[in-house]
Amino acid sequence: MANITYTEDNIRSLDWKEHIRMRPGMYIGKLGNGSAPDDGIYILIKEVLDNSIDEYVMGHGKQIDISIEDGTIIVRDYGRGIPLGKVVDCVSKINTGGKYDSKAFKKSVGLNGVGTKAVNALSSYFKVQSVRDGKTKLAEFSLGEITTDAKVKKSDLANGTIIQFKPDNSIFKNYRFINDYIENQLWNYAYLNAGLKINFNGKILQSKNGLLDLLSRKTSTEELKYPIIHLVGDDIELAMTHGQQYGEHYYSFVNGQNTTQGGTHLNAFKEAVVKVLRDHFKKNYDPKDIRTSIIAAISVRVEEPVFESQTKTKLGSTDVGPKGPTVRTFVNDFLKKKLDNFLYKNKEVAEAIEKKIKQSERERKEIAGIKKIARDKAKKANLHNKKLRDCRVHLNNKRGDEEVKKETTIFITEGDSASGSITKARDVQTQAVFSLRGKPLNCYGLTKKIVYQNEELNLLQHALNIEDGLEDLRYNKVVIATDADVDGMHIRLLLLTFFLQFFPDLIRMGHLYILDTPLFRVRDKNKTFYCYSEQEKQEAIGKLRGKPEITRFKGLGEISPDEFGDFIGENMRLDPVILQEDTKIEDVLSYYMGKNTPARQEFIIDNLRVEIDDAVEQIVN
């Protein structure tokens, strides 16, 4: 072994910006390119917005303006404004901020003093401006280095803080903002802060009834078993109902933060709702029967919350405050009093809930035997038919570590040639392949029973491990990889129908994607370009000298494994399947997969063009 010196020269101290830029994942989670809602560029926006929201919560400023143009974000609030003498420090010195003063920010989103510093360090351009009582202070930065430190001067602008930044594309490579993700995030802020007006690129987002509005927008009256229950208390708000969908669907928040991975407060709610309903009906119903088809939103405020990651997606706190009860007791006591009283006063709602519980109980018992047979078949099929080529992280890690799972992807392909190419080209450590045989069943309007009786759908749900809900989902990204032709579009629609019908949360939680593969290869003896559209093809032709060789890929099977490696690696292009705020799943399914077959065929043909990016949005909007 070679001698390795270890002296004073090996010891190095990093300043704040160097450490953030060298280890960005420690501060904002995964980087990504904007195709997933938890990618770093959205966390940057959130970190800036959280400060503006905290100002509103403290009673300062009733409006926040957000605009995005050419990858540059501007956030303007009308709060008190950063104290002018500390403007530079607040965005460039770690552990500096007003939130350390518990009197000023008692129940803030975060107390780590890192948020805007991380945004600053990870931006090619960053500007902060504060306006307080007729005076203003401005500073500009590049990659965390200050470039302009303007003197305080007079101003006739309204009080508040203005932050402008552009993410550094050397860190966030090939990033793009998807406005749907940002708008969903902003709507959550509006729901949790009733009365706050948010102006996003000229569109006003505002809520009067908090979580009641959230569930109202996320559901349709026709699909609900009873009107939404809305309960409000000190530092806690709840909205809940039962729908007709399969599984459970929750929205959870802590101090205004959307805890997409739940935590102690959501676990407490799940436990409490079972206990309260059992006690109210004086029957020991199975928890699964009580919670099946539930749609609920819960928001709590706690002092000095402890989250399980820097991105604050899962609450770890066990207590609501230094002198308060446990989160579990706090949530349980609230439901025990408020929900139980509500049911006694609203007998028709109580009857509807019990009717739904009994219906779930009957359905569960009806398919119990079928599920066992289907589960056994799935195990044998996966072993002998090799439909699932799993990734090594799952083969070596049976329990599925959460951090490992964030990096995993499964491609759902059609045919042996396509699955063969992807299988050979994939990263075997984190990427899996599931091969379909023929077109999947159109399951629109069918019950969950059909999933267990249909071999392809049964094997697919077992490959994803979503039979009992998304908590055990084995892959972070589920990617539909079908050909860009009529058959491929039809298969895509059938798979979307399957997920929308039985596992809509897979889409709502941002796990479902469409693989975007090149349609053309343009090359000469020196260069090769892979083009995803007619426009890109023409641009590539213009860059080559002489007459280029142009290949039109008619199917994924025509792309060699060596070429495929580029398309499912670092440069992979994914189109997320997004449900808009007011999207009604039943309306989508009935139009595209119902009895109006000619309309569906026309849709498929009309959308089968060189540029298919918009097709996914039309399918779900």
Segment 178-203, tens digit of pLDDT: 998 999 899 999 999 999 999 999 99
- Indicate the DSSP class of residue 129: E
pLDDT band, very low/low/confident/very high, at 495 (cuts 50, 70, 90): very high
Over range 423-436, report the average pLDDT: 90
pTM assigned to the model: 0.77
Over range 46-71, report the average pLDDT: 91
Q: What's the Rg (C-alpha) of the chain? A: 26
CA angle 586, 590, 591 (to 5 degrees): 120
Q: How far is CA 241 from the centre of its chain?
A: 22
pLDDT score of 617 more than 50: no
Over range 520-532, report the average pLDDT: 89
Residue percentage of the chain with pLDDT more than 90: 39
pLDDT band, very low/low/confident/very high, at 242 (cuts 50, 70, 90): very high
pLDDT score of 284 more than 90: yes
Strand bridging mode 294-300 / 203-205: unpaired
Return the higher-pLDDT residue of 314 and 462.
Answer: 462
CA dihedral over 446, 452, 454, 457, signed as positive or negative: positive
Over range 231-252, report the average pLDDT: 90
Angle between helices 327-345 and 347-384 (to 10 degrees): 130
Buried b (16+ CB within 10 A) or exposed e, 47-85: bbbbbbbbbbbbebbebbbbeeeebbbebbbbbbbbeee
Give the three-state DSSP class for 442: coil
Q: How far is CA 363 from the centre of its chain?
A: 31
Q: Phi and psi at residue 194, in whole multiples of 5°? A: -50, 130
Q: Show Cβ contacts of residue 282 under 8 Å, excluding neighbours closer than 6 positions.
A: none
pLDDT of residue 611: 35
pLDDT of residue 615: 37
- What tokens does 423 get? 């299988």
Amino acid symbol at 613: D
Distance separating alpha carbons of residues 467 and 473, to the nearest angstrom = 9
pLDDT of residue 353: 96
Q: Which long-range contacts (CB under 8 A, 24 or more apart) does 324-331 make?
A: 327/264, 327/265, 327/268, 327/300, 327/302, 328/264, 328/267, 328/268, 328/271, 330/236, 330/268, 330/300, 331/236, 331/265, 331/268, 331/269, 331/272, 331/298, 331/300
Stretch among 50-64, 503-517, 546-560, 587-601 having the lowest mean pLDDT = 587-601
* Domains of the chain, CATH where assigned: 16-205 (3.30.565.10), 211-359 (3.30.230.10), 385-517+555-620 (3.40.50.670), 518-552 (no CATH)
- The Cβ of residue 45 has, within 10 Å, a number of other Cβ atoms equal to 22
Over range 17-32, report the average pLDDT: 83
Q: Show Cβ contacts of residue 184 under 8 Å, excluding neighbours closer than 6 positions.
A: 37, 581
Q: Show Cβ contacts of residue 341 under 8 Å, excluding neighbours closer than 6 positions.
A: none
Residue percentage of the chain with pLDDT more than 70: 84
Beta-bridge mates of residue 503: none
pLDDT score of 497 more than 50: yes
pLDDT score of 134 more than 80: yes
pLDDT of residue 109: 53
pLDDT of residue 139: 96
Distance separating alpha carbons of residues 393 and 426, to the nearest angstrom = 14
pLDDT score of 107 more than 80: no
Q: What is the DSSP string of 54-88?
A: HHHHTT--SEEEEEEETTEEEEEE-SS---GGGHH
Segment 362-419, tens digit of pLDDT: 988 888 778 777 777 777 666 555 688 888 887 665 544 566 677 899 999 987 777 8
**Token pair 């579009």 in the structure block, residue:** 489
pLDDT band, very low/low/confident/very high, at 103 (cuts 50, 70, 90): very low
Distance separating alpha carbons of residues 94 and 82, to the nearest angstrom = 16
Over range 596-606, report the average pLDDT: 60
Which of 577, 554, 551 lies closest to 483 in space, CA to CA?
Answer: 554
